[in-house]
Structure 1
Protein backbone atom coordinates (compact mmCIF):
# COMPACT_ATOMS: atom_id res chain seq x y z
CA UNK A 1 0.00 0.00 0.00
CA UNK A 2 2.75 2.46 0.94
CA UNK A 3 4.60 1.85 -2.33
CA UNK A 4 1.40 2.70 -4.20
CA UNK A 5 1.06 5.89 -2.17
CA UNK A 6 4.67 6.86 -2.90
CA UNK A 7 4.12 6.37 -6.65
CA UNK A 8 0.86 8.34 -6.45
CA UNK A 9 2.61 11.14 -4.54
CA UNK A 10 5.41 11.31 -7.11
CA UNK A 11 2.95 11.50 -10.00
CA UNK A 12 0.83 14.07 -8.15
CA UNK A 13 3.89 16.22 -7.40
CA UNK A 14 4.85 16.45 -11.06
CA UNK A 15 1.24 17.01 -12.16
CA UNK A 16 0.87 19.91 -9.72
CA UNK A 17 4.19 21.35 -10.87
CA UNK A 18 3.17 21.00 -14.51
CA UNK A 19 -0.13 22.74 -13.84
CA UNK A 20 1.64 25.53 -11.96
CA UNK A 21 4.05 26.19 -14.82
CA UNK A 22 1.30 25.93 -17.43
CA UNK A 23 -0.90 28.45 -15.68
CA UNK A 24 2.08 30.79 -15.22
CA UNK A 25 3.49 30.80 -18.74
CA UNK A 26 0.64 29.70 -20.98
CA UNK A 27 -2.37 31.27 -19.26
CA UNK A 28 -0.49 34.10 -17.50
CA UNK A 29 -2.25 33.33 -14.20
CA UNK A 30 0.61 34.06 -11.85
CA UNK A 31 -1.46 34.00 -8.66
CA UNK A 32 -2.95 30.63 -9.53
CA UNK A 33 0.52 29.37 -10.37
CA UNK A 34 1.86 30.54 -7.01
CA UNK A 35 -0.98 28.82 -5.15
CA UNK A 36 -0.28 25.58 -7.02
CA UNK A 37 3.44 25.79 -6.24
CA UNK A 38 2.60 26.29 -2.57
CA UNK A 39 0.58 23.09 -2.83
CA UNK A 40 3.66 20.99 -3.60
CA UNK A 41 4.63 20.56 0.08
CA UNK A 42 1.05 19.44 0.76
CA UNK A 43 1.71 16.35 -1.38
CA UNK A 44 4.68 15.43 0.82
CA UNK A 45 2.78 16.11 4.04
CA UNK A 46 -0.15 14.00 2.85
CA UNK A 47 2.15 11.07 2.08
CA UNK A 48 3.80 11.30 5.49
CA UNK A 49 0.45 11.58 7.29
CA UNK A 50 -0.84 8.50 5.45
CA UNK A 51 2.34 6.66 6.42
CA UNK A 52 1.74 7.45 10.09
CA UNK A 53 -1.90 6.39 9.81
CA UNK A 54 -0.87 3.13 8.16
CA UNK A 55 1.45 2.30 11.06
CA UNK A 56 -1.09 3.36 13.67
CA UNK A 57 -3.64 1.16 11.93
CA UNK A 58 -1.57 -1.90 12.71
CA UNK A 59 0.60 -2.27 9.63
CA UNK A 60 3.95 -3.94 10.20
CA UNK A 61 6.79 -1.44 9.94
CA UNK A 62 8.93 -1.95 6.85
CA UNK A 63 11.43 -0.20 4.64
CA UNK A 64 8.56 1.24 2.59
CA UNK A 65 7.47 3.42 5.53
CA UNK A 66 11.01 4.80 5.83
CA UNK A 67 11.06 5.27 2.05
CA UNK A 68 7.93 7.42 2.31
CA UNK A 69 9.68 9.58 4.90
CA UNK A 70 12.77 9.80 2.67
CA UNK A 71 10.56 10.95 -0.21
CA UNK A 72 9.40 13.88 1.92
CA UNK A 73 12.98 14.60 3.00
CA UNK A 74 14.19 14.54 -0.59
CA UNK A 75 11.45 16.96 -1.61
CA UNK A 76 12.48 19.41 1.10
CA UNK A 77 16.17 19.24 0.20
CA UNK A 78 15.93 19.02 -3.57
CA UNK A 79 12.40 20.27 -4.28
CA UNK A 80 13.27 23.98 -4.71
CA UNK A 81 16.10 23.20 -7.13
CA UNK A 82 13.85 20.82 -9.09
CA UNK A 83 11.20 23.53 -9.36
CA UNK A 84 13.80 26.03 -10.62
CA UNK A 85 15.10 23.47 -13.14
CA UNK A 86 11.60 22.71 -14.43
CA UNK A 87 10.74 26.41 -14.52
CA UNK A 88 13.75 27.27 -16.70
CA UNK A 89 13.13 24.39 -19.12
CA UNK A 90 9.39 25.05 -19.35
CA UNK A 91 10.03 28.74 -20.01
CA UNK A 92 12.49 27.86 -22.78
CA UNK A 93 10.36 25.14 -24.35
CA UNK A 94 6.93 26.75 -24.25
CA UNK A 95 7.34 30.49 -23.62
CA UNK A 96 10.31 31.53 -25.71
CA UNK A 97 12.71 31.90 -22.81
CA UNK A 98 16.49 31.52 -23.08
CA UNK A 99 18.01 28.06 -23.21
CA UNK A 100 19.01 26.98 -19.69
CA UNK A 101 22.79 26.78 -19.30
CA UNK A 102 24.33 23.42 -18.38
CA UNK A 103 25.79 22.81 -14.97
CA UNK A 104 29.28 24.27 -14.54
CA UNK A 105 32.09 21.79 -15.12
CA UNK A 106 35.26 23.65 -14.26
CA UNK A 107 36.91 25.96 -11.78
CA UNK A 108 35.41 27.56 -8.66
CA UNK A 109 31.94 27.49 -10.23
CA UNK A 110 32.07 23.68 -10.32
CA UNK A 111 33.28 23.65 -6.71
CA UNK A 112 30.34 25.84 -5.61
CA UNK A 113 27.97 23.60 -7.56
CA UNK A 114 29.29 20.48 -5.79
CA UNK A 115 28.87 22.17 -2.39
CA UNK A 116 25.28 23.06 -3.32
CA UNK A 117 24.61 19.38 -4.11
CA UNK A 118 26.25 18.35 -0.84
CA UNK A 119 24.18 20.88 1.09
CA UNK A 120 20.95 19.61 -0.44
CA UNK A 121 21.91 16.04 0.36
CA UNK A 122 22.73 16.89 3.98
CA UNK A 123 19.41 18.74 4.38
CA UNK A 124 17.51 15.85 2.76
CA UNK A 125 19.21 13.32 5.03
CA UNK A 126 18.58 15.41 8.16
CA UNK A 127 14.90 15.93 7.34
CA UNK A 128 14.46 12.28 6.43
CA UNK A 129 16.07 11.03 9.65
CA UNK A 130 13.95 13.45 11.68
CA UNK A 131 10.78 12.19 10.02
CA UNK A 132 11.82 8.55 10.47
CA UNK A 133 12.58 9.21 14.14
CA UNK A 134 9.13 10.79 14.56
CA UNK A 135 7.50 7.68 13.07
CA UNK A 136 8.35 5.82 16.28
CA UNK A 137 6.36 7.93 18.80
CA UNK A 138 3.70 8.83 16.23
CA UNK A 139 2.95 5.20 15.43
CA UNK A 140 3.14 2.10 17.57
CA UNK A 141 6.19 2.98 19.62
CA UNK A 142 9.71 1.69 20.03
CA UNK A 143 8.92 -1.67 18.45
CA UNK A 144 9.41 -0.05 15.05
CA UNK A 145 12.79 1.48 15.79
CA UNK A 146 14.81 -1.59 14.76
CA UNK A 147 13.21 -1.58 11.33
CA UNK A 148 14.22 2.02 10.73
CA UNK A 149 17.67 1.98 12.37
CA UNK A 150 19.54 0.97 9.21
CA UNK A 151 18.42 4.19 7.51
CA UNK A 152 20.51 6.24 9.91
CA UNK A 153 23.86 4.95 8.75
CA UNK A 154 22.81 4.66 5.10
CA UNK A 155 21.72 8.27 4.88
CA UNK A 156 24.68 9.32 6.98
CA UNK A 157 27.05 7.65 4.51
CA UNK A 158 25.29 9.34 1.58
CA UNK A 159 25.68 12.76 3.21
CA UNK A 160 29.33 12.17 4.13
CA UNK A 161 30.19 10.97 0.60
CA UNK A 162 28.67 14.11 -0.92
CA UNK A 163 30.58 16.33 1.50
CA UNK A 164 33.83 14.48 0.76
CA UNK A 165 33.30 14.87 -3.00
CA UNK A 166 32.67 18.60 -2.58
CA UNK A 167 35.75 18.84 -0.37
CA UNK A 168 37.85 17.16 -3.06
CA UNK A 169 36.70 19.77 -5.58
CA UNK A 170 37.71 22.47 -3.09
CA UNK A 171 41.17 20.91 -2.68
CA UNK A 172 41.63 19.98 -6.34
CA UNK A 173 39.41 22.21 -8.52
CA UNK A 174 38.65 20.71 -11.91
CA UNK A 175 40.49 22.57 -14.64
CA UNK A 176 39.35 22.80 -18.24
CA UNK A 177 41.36 20.92 -20.87
CA UNK A 178 43.99 22.88 -22.75
CA UNK A 179 42.56 24.94 -25.58
CA UNK A 180 39.04 25.13 -24.15
CA UNK A 181 37.63 28.56 -23.39
CA UNK A 182 35.60 28.69 -20.18
CA UNK A 183 33.02 31.22 -19.01
CA UNK A 184 31.32 30.81 -15.63
CA UNK A 185 32.69 27.29 -15.37
CA UNK A 186 31.25 26.22 -18.73
CA UNK A 187 33.12 25.46 -21.94
CA UNK A 188 32.01 27.89 -24.63
CA UNK A 189 34.31 27.19 -27.55
CA UNK A 190 37.48 25.50 -28.52
CA UNK A 191 40.36 27.66 -29.58
CA UNK A 192 41.55 26.65 -33.03
CA UNK A 193 45.20 26.63 -33.93
CA UNK A 194 45.88 28.20 -37.35
CA UNK A 195 46.83 25.70 -39.99
CA UNK A 196 50.53 25.63 -40.83
CA UNK A 197 51.40 26.78 -44.29
CA UNK A 198 53.38 24.51 -46.53
Structure 2
Protein backbone atom coordinates (compact mmCIF):
# COMPACT_ATOMS: atom_id res chain seq x y z
CA UNK A 1 0.00 0.00 0.00
CA UNK A 2 2.80 2.43 0.89
CA UNK A 3 4.57 1.96 -2.44
CA UNK A 4 1.29 2.68 -4.25
CA UNK A 5 0.82 5.81 -2.13
CA UNK A 6 4.38 6.98 -2.85
CA UNK A 7 3.76 6.52 -6.59
CA UNK A 8 0.44 8.35 -6.25
CA UNK A 9 2.16 11.22 -4.43
CA UNK A 10 4.83 11.46 -7.15
CA UNK A 11 2.21 11.45 -9.90
CA UNK A 12 0.16 13.96 -7.91
CA UNK A 13 3.20 16.23 -7.52
CA UNK A 14 3.69 16.42 -11.30
CA UNK A 15 -0.04 16.78 -11.99
CA UNK A 16 -0.36 19.64 -9.51
CA UNK A 17 2.78 21.23 -10.93
CA UNK A 18 1.55 20.97 -14.51
CA UNK A 19 -1.93 22.17 -13.54
CA UNK A 20 -0.62 25.10 -11.53
CA UNK A 21 1.73 26.25 -14.30
CA UNK A 22 -1.00 25.81 -16.94
CA UNK A 23 -3.37 27.95 -14.88
CA UNK A 24 -0.69 30.61 -14.36
CA UNK A 25 0.56 30.92 -17.93
CA UNK A 26 -1.94 29.36 -20.33
CA UNK A 27 -5.23 30.21 -18.63
CA UNK A 28 -3.85 33.54 -17.31
CA UNK A 29 -5.08 32.83 -13.77
CA UNK A 30 -1.92 33.41 -11.70
CA UNK A 31 -3.63 33.40 -8.28
CA UNK A 32 -5.44 30.13 -8.88
CA UNK A 33 -2.25 28.63 -10.32
CA UNK A 34 -0.29 29.69 -7.22
CA UNK A 35 -3.01 28.20 -5.00
CA UNK A 36 -2.72 24.87 -6.82
CA UNK A 37 1.07 24.90 -6.46
CA UNK A 38 0.73 25.59 -2.73
CA UNK A 39 -1.29 22.36 -2.36
CA UNK A 40 1.77 20.23 -3.12
CA UNK A 41 3.06 19.97 0.49
CA UNK A 42 -0.25 18.31 1.38
CA UNK A 43 0.89 15.24 -0.56
CA UNK A 44 3.90 14.79 1.73
CA UNK A 45 1.70 15.31 4.79
CA UNK A 46 -0.66 12.55 3.58
CA UNK A 47 2.30 10.22 3.02
CA UNK A 48 3.77 11.00 6.45
CA UNK A 49 0.44 10.32 8.19
CA UNK A 50 -0.10 7.10 6.23
CA UNK A 51 3.40 5.85 7.08
CA UNK A 52 2.93 6.65 10.77
CA UNK A 53 -0.46 4.92 10.85
CA UNK A 54 0.99 1.86 9.14
CA UNK A 55 3.67 1.54 11.83
CA UNK A 56 1.16 2.25 14.57
CA UNK A 57 -1.14 -0.50 13.32
CA UNK A 58 1.63 -3.08 13.63
CA UNK A 59 3.25 -2.80 10.21
CA UNK A 60 6.71 -4.37 10.19
CA UNK A 61 9.34 -1.63 9.53
CA UNK A 62 10.61 -2.21 5.99
CA UNK A 63 12.20 -0.58 2.96
CA UNK A 64 8.74 0.81 2.10
CA UNK A 65 8.78 3.01 5.19
CA UNK A 66 12.35 3.96 4.35
CA UNK A 67 11.35 4.89 0.81
CA UNK A 68 8.54 7.07 2.15
CA UNK A 69 11.01 8.92 4.42
CA UNK A 70 13.50 9.36 1.56
CA UNK A 71 10.74 10.66 -0.73
CA UNK A 72 9.63 13.21 1.87
CA UNK A 73 13.25 14.27 2.44
CA UNK A 74 13.85 14.66 -1.28
CA UNK A 75 10.72 16.77 -1.63
CA UNK A 76 11.81 19.00 1.26
CA UNK A 77 15.26 19.46 -0.31
CA UNK A 78 14.29 19.78 -3.97
CA UNK A 79 10.54 20.33 -4.23
CA UNK A 80 10.56 24.14 -4.06
CA UNK A 81 13.66 24.31 -6.26
CA UNK A 82 11.97 22.15 -8.91
CA UNK A 83 8.83 24.29 -8.86
CA UNK A 84 10.84 27.52 -9.23
CA UNK A 85 13.00 26.04 -12.01
CA UNK A 86 9.99 24.91 -14.02
CA UNK A 87 8.16 28.18 -13.30
CA UNK A 88 11.03 30.18 -14.84
CA UNK A 89 11.02 27.96 -17.92
CA UNK A 90 7.24 28.18 -18.25
CA UNK A 91 7.38 31.98 -17.91
CA UNK A 92 9.98 32.10 -20.68
CA UNK A 93 8.14 29.68 -22.94
CA UNK A 94 4.57 30.91 -22.49
CA UNK A 95 4.66 34.44 -21.04
CA UNK A 96 7.63 36.16 -22.70
CA UNK A 97 9.75 36.06 -19.54
CA UNK A 98 13.54 36.24 -19.57
CA UNK A 99 15.46 33.20 -20.76
CA UNK A 100 16.54 31.15 -17.73
CA UNK A 101 20.28 31.25 -17.18
CA UNK A 102 22.22 28.00 -17.22
CA UNK A 103 24.40 26.70 -14.42
CA UNK A 104 27.40 28.46 -15.96
CA UNK A 105 31.05 27.50 -15.97
CA UNK A 106 34.08 27.70 -13.72
CA UNK A 107 33.53 29.10 -10.24
CA UNK A 108 29.89 29.93 -10.98
CA UNK A 109 29.16 26.29 -11.82
CA UNK A 110 31.06 25.04 -8.76
CA UNK A 111 29.01 27.33 -6.49
CA UNK A 112 25.82 26.05 -8.17
CA UNK A 113 26.84 22.43 -7.53
CA UNK A 114 27.59 23.13 -3.86
CA UNK A 115 24.19 24.80 -3.47
CA UNK A 116 22.59 21.66 -4.91
CA UNK A 117 24.66 19.59 -2.48
CA UNK A 118 23.26 21.66 0.40
CA UNK A 119 19.78 20.74 -0.83
CA UNK A 120 20.78 17.09 -0.88
CA UNK A 121 22.16 17.46 2.65
CA UNK A 122 18.92 19.08 3.86
CA UNK A 123 16.80 16.35 2.25
CA UNK A 124 19.03 13.64 3.70
CA UNK A 125 18.83 15.21 7.17
CA UNK A 126 15.02 15.22 7.01
CA UNK A 127 14.94 11.63 5.75
CA UNK A 128 17.42 10.43 8.38
CA UNK A 129 15.45 12.18 11.15
CA UNK A 130 12.17 10.61 9.97
CA UNK A 131 13.84 7.21 9.78
CA UNK A 132 15.26 7.62 13.30
CA UNK A 133 11.80 8.61 14.54
CA UNK A 134 10.39 5.47 12.94
CA UNK A 135 13.12 3.36 14.57
CA UNK A 136 12.29 4.77 18.01
CA UNK A 137 8.55 4.49 17.35
CA UNK A 138 8.81 0.84 16.31
CA UNK A 139 10.58 0.02 19.58
CA UNK A 140 13.27 -2.49 20.40
CA UNK A 141 11.18 -5.57 19.60
CA UNK A 142 10.81 -4.82 15.87
CA UNK A 143 13.49 -5.48 13.27
CA UNK A 144 14.49 -2.02 12.11
CA UNK A 145 17.51 -3.04 10.04
CA UNK A 146 15.79 -1.93 6.81
CA UNK A 147 15.33 1.58 8.21
CA UNK A 148 18.96 1.72 9.37
CA UNK A 149 20.02 0.61 5.86
CA UNK A 150 18.00 3.50 4.40
CA UNK A 151 19.79 5.91 6.74
CA UNK A 152 23.14 4.69 5.43
CA UNK A 153 21.82 5.00 1.86
CA UNK A 154 20.97 8.70 2.31
CA UNK A 155 24.40 9.29 3.89
CA UNK A 156 26.03 7.64 0.86
CA UNK A 157 23.97 9.89 -1.45
CA UNK A 158 25.26 12.96 0.42
CA UNK A 159 28.83 11.68 0.12
CA UNK A 160 28.57 10.88 -3.59
CA UNK A 161 26.99 14.25 -4.35
CA UNK A 162 29.74 15.93 -2.33
CA UNK A 163 32.36 14.19 -4.49
CA UNK A 164 30.59 15.43 -7.65
CA UNK A 165 30.50 19.01 -6.32
CA UNK A 166 34.18 18.78 -5.34
CA UNK A 167 35.07 17.65 -8.86
CA UNK A 168 33.48 20.82 -10.27
CA UNK A 169 35.62 22.78 -7.79
CA UNK A 170 38.90 20.98 -8.47
CA UNK A 171 38.37 20.61 -12.22
CA UNK A 172 36.12 23.52 -13.15
CA UNK A 173 34.01 23.17 -16.25
CA UNK A 174 35.19 25.53 -18.96
CA UNK A 175 33.07 27.41 -21.43
CA UNK A 176 33.18 25.90 -24.92
CA UNK A 177 35.66 27.59 -27.27
CA UNK A 178 34.12 29.74 -29.97
CA UNK A 179 34.26 28.25 -33.43
CA UNK A 180 34.26 29.99 -36.80
CA UNK A 181 36.03 33.05 -38.12
CA UNK A 182 36.50 36.04 -35.84
CA UNK A 183 34.13 38.94 -36.33
CA UNK A 184 34.90 40.98 -39.44
CA UNK A 185 35.64 44.70 -38.97
CA UNK A 186 32.74 47.09 -39.40
CA UNK A 187 32.27 48.49 -42.89
CA UNK A 188 30.68 51.89 -43.49
CA UNK A 189 29.87 53.25 -46.91
CA UNK A 190 32.06 50.60 -48.59
CA UNK A 191 35.12 51.55 -46.52
CA UNK A 192 36.64 49.62 -43.65
CA UNK A 193 36.12 51.00 -40.21
CA UNK A 194 39.24 52.28 -38.42
CA UNK A 195 41.43 49.44 -37.29
CA UNK A 196 40.38 47.15 -40.18
CA UNK A 197 42.85 45.64 -42.58
In structure 2, what is the equivalent of residue 30 of structure 1? 30
Q: Post-superposition shift, 1:192? A: 2.9
The 5 A counterparts of 1:17-166 are: 17-104=17-104, 106-138=105-137, 140-142=138-140, 143-166=142-165
In the alignment, the residues of structure 2 paired with residue 67 and residue 126 of structure 1 have an alpha-carbon distance, to the nearest angstrom, of 14
**CA RMSD in angstroms, aligned pairs only:** 2.1
Q: Post-superposition shift, 1:151? A: 1.6
Q: Which structure would you say has the larger Rg?
A: 2
Q: Post-superposition shift, 1:193? A: 5.7
Mean Cα deviation higher: 26-35 or 151-160: 26-35
Q: Calculate the TM-score normalised by the size of structure 2.
A: 0.82
What are structure 1's unaligned runs of at least 5 residues?
Answer: 181-189
1:113 partner SS: helix
Among 181, 185, 196, which residue is 1:192 paired with? 181
Q: Calculate the TM-score normalised by the size of structure 1.
A: 0.81
Would the aligned equivalents of 2:25 and 2:91 in 1 still touch at CA under 8 Å?
yes
Mean Cα deviation higher: 109-118 or 159-168: 159-168
What are structure 2's unaligned runs of at least 5 residues?
Answer: 184-197
Partner deviation per Cα, 1:87-136 (whole Å, 9 max, x = no partner): 123223333434434432x2111111211221111111111111111223
Moved over 6 A (4+): none
Q: Post-superposition shift, 1:39? A: 1.4
**Matched residue count:** 182
